[in-house]
Copies of this chain bind each other. A is one copy, B any other.
């Protein structure tokens, strides 16, 4: 199957590599073109713009940052919608607002194209190991068409309902991920200040009980060491949290922990710490 893949960031690059490994015919494009090189060495074709990755493709995957990036990649001057054939399936795996996903799906539908929203969870580890959890919104028949692709990228594929519902599940995911990171950051900052500085004792002991989480097991040692290599940029989580808070506000649901987390993230970004991983949240508990 021929696939176009747009967006080779810290998630997109290993995902594209897994598709190559599963013997899909891949044409890749990235705004910073040099990121295409490694994949090209492994057999991918390179496209000079998003539209040029689309003409031959049965499926075009977009894995970019924000709503406006997806819109540009799909509907911009050299976008996918202009280059693709009718019947092409677009799978947007970026994290954007559910309302944007529904709107983009409608606009593609008017051109005879289909779209799934299929954001993911599992971090760069999940992207590299092909063990992502994929949250899918859109038509069931399109999900079946995409199934071989999803199977190469993730270990759990869940169809939540119509267009936008994959992004809704991702918004829920990001609320939980953010709050859990904050809890782990705060607890471990407290522990280190209290003298529990042996990460080889603290992390396994906590992970063996009710405090256990992906954040603790995969990021706990960073919190203890005070090292925060990217990872997952703070401003990217802030974008996701804003989506969730906007959706929650529309529903009349208050999310007090997410409100707090957003304020903490704003403060870290204002302090110039946006080049650190989200695990730098621990600085909030340490008092900056």
Which residues does chain B contribute within 8 Å of A133, judged by CB atoms? 205-206, 208-209
Q: Beta-carbon contacts of A190-209 to B below 8 Å, as 1s and 0s?
A: 11011110000110111011
Given contacts A175-B186, A178-B183, A183-B175, contact A196 B285 (CB under 8 A): no
Q: Beta-carbon contacts of A223-264 to B below 8 Å, as 1s and 0s?
A: 000000000000000000000100110011111111011001
A177 to B186, CA, bound (A): 11
A187 contacts chain B at the CB level, 8 A cutoff: yes
In the assembled complex, the CB of A122 is this many whole angstroms from the nearest CB of chain B, namely 4
A189 to B210, CA, bound (A): 21
CB–CB A244/B209 < 8 A: no
Number of A residues, CB within 8 Å of B: 73
Q: Which of A51-59, A77-85, A166-174 contacts B (4 or more CB under 8 A)?
A: A166-174
A169 to B248, CA, bound (A): 35
A160 contacts chain B at the CB level, 8 A cutoff: yes
Chain A positions 262-288 with a Cβ under 8 Å from a chain B Cβ: 264, 284-287
Which residues does chain B contribute within 8 Å of A218, judged by CB atoms? 210
CB–CB B209/A126 < 8 A: yes
A4 to B130, CA, bound (A): 52
CB–CB B190/A186 < 8 A: no
In the assembled complex, the CB of A57 is this many whole angstroms from the nearest CB of chain B, namely 27
Which residues does chain B contribute within 8 Å of A253, judged by CB atoms? 189-190, 193-194, 285-287
| A-B CB proximity, top 7 nearest | A179-B183, A121-B209, A213-B213, A176-B187, A133-B209, A156-B208, A133-B208
With A168-B191, A193-B251 known, 6 other A-B pairs at CB within 8 A are A120-B209, A169-B206, A173-B209, A176-B186, A176-B187, A180-B211
List 15 interface pairs A-B (beta carbons < 8 Å), by A numbering: A155-B208, A160-B201, A160-B205, A165-B196, A169-B191, A172-B187, A176-B211, A178-B183, A180-B213, A186-B255, A190-B253, A193-B252, A209-B214, A252-B287, A257-B257
